[in-house]
Amino acid sequence: MPGELLRVDVGDLTFDVRADGPEDGRPVLLLHGFPETSASWASVTPLLTQAGLRTYAPDQLGYSPGARPAEVAAYSAQNLAQVTVDLMTALEIPVADVVGHDWGANVAWTLAAWHSDRVRSLTAVSVPHPAAYTVAYRTDPEQRERSGYIRLFWQAGKAEEALLEDDARRLRRMLSGGEHASGIPAEAIDEYVAVLSAPGALTAALNWYRAMSSDVRVDRIEVPTTYVWSDGDAAIGRTAAEACANYVTGDYRFVELPGVTHWIPEQAPEPLVSAILDRIAST
């Protein structure tokens, strides 16, 4: 992945951040999800920088080796949003167009709700507003079934063993998509597995799930927002996706990508970038 690798200090944490594009370009913050790294934006970044934008893609909390706190509470929604704001400040980014995929989308939603002054626009990918997801989980049996894997992730020790055994067979299958090809290159999957195989790394990544709380309130979003969902997503069903509109009061667009799996940034970078650029142009 081209560009510049920055190491950015936020208190006693050090984040690895991939920066690319013209230094005077409008800043776009790209937040990856589980179980990936900033490399998941490799096909997206060149298309954004060609449009004159300046991209910043951090390896998020727990994924950067120098930002891997041990305590589960460090990965709460409140702290993830605050750490992201502090990282933006350290990068001298007062406000950014924020794009998040998977868990990165959760951070982006929370950031837009609680720190709206730092978010010019929001493009959330795959994962809807947390309240839309929660309502769907409680009312839609299909969504509960889709979310069943999370119960394993909550089990400290057991989940790590299950995901890493046999050369990380389950982790690799999750990323490859199995019979439904994800579009993630084999070398990228090797990189993700290598990152999460480091001591404490997978536990840190799973702590995002273990710090989940239904008590966290994420208000309706006032900033201009686009939600990109794919109908081949195994984790997020249509009920949650369509309910997302109920939690945005700002200008809202719903982009559905047919025949695409959960791994939108790798599998469908062009339509994703089109949605991002359309959103950015509107603000």
* pLDDT digit string, tens, across residues 47-98: 999 999 999 999 999 999 999 999 999 999 999 999 999 999 999 999 999 9
| 3 state SS for 142-192 | HHHHHCCHHHHHCCCCHHHHHHHHHHHHHHHHHHHCCCCCCCCCHHHHHHH
Report the candidate in 184, 189, 149 with the shortest Cα–Cα distance to residue 168: 189
Delineate the domains of the chain, giving CATH numbers in brackets: 4-281 (3.40.50.1820)
Report the candidate in 105, 106, 90, 91 with the shortest Cα–Cα distance to residue 27: 91
Is the entire prediction scored with pTM above 0.95? yes
CA dihedral 214, 217, 223, 225 (to 10 degrees): 10
**What is the tens place of the pLDDT at every residue in 190-237?**
999 999 999 999 999 999 999 997 667 899 999 999 999 999 999 999
Cα 16 to Cα 4, 125, 196: the distances in Å are: 10, 22, 15
